[in-house]
């Protein structure tokens, strides 16, 4: 401590004055003297493997590696046999499954055999000496850097890239515009139809009969007992071919039909005539992200979406009572025709399916009103 104080009180001239031995001494200032600098610990001691110490273990590892390579050969042969012996017959799904199953198993055995055998060989039998590889600087030498600059300047000079500014600028313009055709072509990957418009109309029209999914059998009001739930499609859907958008139309128009005890049914104002004798119909497409709401709890009259557990109360115009959905399920107005079959009074009065930000801009004016009323009540 006394020495430090003495050194600190020395003047600058004193500090740089030569000592008796002719060595200039400088003050350490704020620098921290490291007395315990980190030492390179070096490599850990080499630990011999069992196969290095015991010849019988080495021979056993060798047999294991050979065994894996033989298994790989067997897998390759089996793959060929499976391909020939189990051909795929058009229209026969069993033949497809058998072919895929045995071909896959055999190829997996072939690949695993090579992989595991190779790893076992490397880990147990190949040399296990630790090796240190010195790394050189990734920066080039001054000479090679200077040479690179020289080549670059020579190229610039010979091509006239800097000198011929008109050519250079038009080249830059050409390269900049080059991606534009790709952007225009990729634009065609967007949906051809406005998404909201696409879900604003379904196959339901006035007088369209409600039919069982998937048979297409029309449903009489008398067949719907209290507590029962029917998966429903428009009757005319069965006339659509698969290439005429059958699946798309079915996804839009799917409905769940439920009959409630009349004393449990609380109809929303303005929708008093939308049910028939306690029978109500709601879109089956969840208003969260569009899963089919297909689980009906008979005792509570709740509809449950299996995806994220949104729960809708059928007794109260399918309002959301639990889960992430934000809107009630759209209701399909129904009645019966002269023969007692259930029919739609119209299409849904709001777009079916998930909620998202553009929805209300695209809904028909009467839909906006109905949706706003429904959401206010919910």
Residue ranges that bind ligand FES, judged by CB under 6 A = 286, 288-291, 305, 307-308, 310, 323-325
Q: Which is nearer to ligand FES, 15 or 355 (CB)?
A: 355
Q: CA-based diameter of the chain, in Å?
A: 125
Least distance (Å) between residue 324 CB and ligand FES: 6
Least distance (Å) between residue 291 CB and ligand FES: 4
Q: Which is nearer to ligand FES, 67 or 324 (CB)?
A: 324
Burial 243-271 (b: 16+ CB within 10 A, else e): eeeeeebbbbbbbbbbbbeeeebeebeeb
Least distance (Å) between residue 374 CB and ligand FES: 17
Q: Which is nearer to ligand FES, 253 or 286 (CB)?
A: 286
Contact residues for 302 (Cβ-Cβ < 8 A; gap 6+): 296, 311, 312, 313, 314, 321
Q: Cα(248)–Cα(200) distance, rounded to whole angstroms?
A: 13
Q: Which is nearer to ligand FES, 99 or 310 (CB)?
A: 310
Least distance (Å) between residue 313 CB and ligand FES: 15
Least distance (Å) between residue 111 CB and ligand FES: 39
Q: Which of 295, 328, 330 is nearest to 309 (CA)?
A: 295
Beta-ladder partners of 311 = 304, 322
**Burial (CB count <10 Å: 0-12, 13-18, 19+), residue 280:** buried
Least distance (Å) between residue 41 CB and ligand FES: 55
Q: Cα(7)–Cα(17) distance, rounded to whole angstroms?
A: 12
Q: Which is nearer to ligand FES, 219 or 329 (CB)?
A: 329
Q: How far is CA 178 from the centre of its chain?
A: 32
Q: Which is nearer to ligand FES, 118 or 292 (CB)?
A: 292
């Amino acid at each position: 401590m006394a020495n430090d104080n003495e050194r600190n009180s020395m003047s600058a001239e004193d500090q740089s004055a030569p000592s008796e031995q002719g060595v200039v001494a400088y003050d350490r200032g704020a620098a921290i003297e490291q007395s315990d600098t980190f030492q390179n610990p070096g490599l850990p001691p080499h630990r011999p493997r069992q196969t290095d110490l015991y010849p019988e273990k080495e021979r056993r590892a060798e047999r294991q590696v050979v065994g894996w390579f033989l298994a790989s050969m067997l897998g390759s042969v089996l793959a060929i046999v499976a391909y020939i012996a189990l051909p795929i017959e058009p229209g026969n799904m069993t033949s497809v499954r058998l072919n895929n199953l045995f071909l896959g198993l055999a190829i997996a055995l072939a690949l695993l055999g090579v992989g595991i055998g190779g790893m076992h060989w490397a880990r147990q039998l190949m040399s296990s000496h630790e090796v240190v590889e010195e790394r050189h600087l990734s920066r080039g030498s001054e000479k090679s850097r200077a040479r690179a600059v020289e080549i670059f300047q020579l190229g610039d000079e010979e091509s006239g890239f800097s000198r011929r500014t008109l050519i250079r600028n038009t080249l830059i313009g050409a390269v900049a515009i080059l991606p534009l055709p790709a952007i225009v072509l990729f634009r065609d990957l967007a949906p051809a139809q406005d998404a909201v418009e696409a879900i604003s109309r379904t196959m339901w029209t006035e007088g369209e009969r409600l039919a069982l999914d998937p048979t297409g059998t029309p449903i009489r009001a008398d067949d719907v007992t209290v507590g029962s739930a029917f998966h429903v499609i428009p009757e005319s859907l069965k006339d659509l071919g698969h290439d005429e958008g059958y699946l798309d139309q079915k996804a839009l128009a799917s409905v769940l039909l439920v009959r409630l005890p009349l004393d449990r049914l609380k109809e929303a104002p303005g929708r008093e005539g939308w049910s028939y004798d306690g029978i109500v119909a709601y879109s089956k497409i969840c208003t969260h992200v569009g899963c089919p709401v297909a689980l009906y709890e008979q005792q509570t009259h709740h509809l449950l979406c299996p995806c994220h557990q949104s729960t809708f109360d059928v007794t109260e115009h399918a309002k959301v009572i639990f889960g992430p959905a934000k809107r009630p399920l759209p209701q399909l107005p129904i009645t019966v025709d002269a023969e007692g079959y259930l029919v739609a009074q119209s299409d849904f009065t709001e777009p079916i399916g998930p909620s998202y930000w553009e929805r209300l801009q695209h809904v028909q004016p009467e839909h906006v009103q109905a949706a706003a009323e429904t959401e206010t009540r919910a």
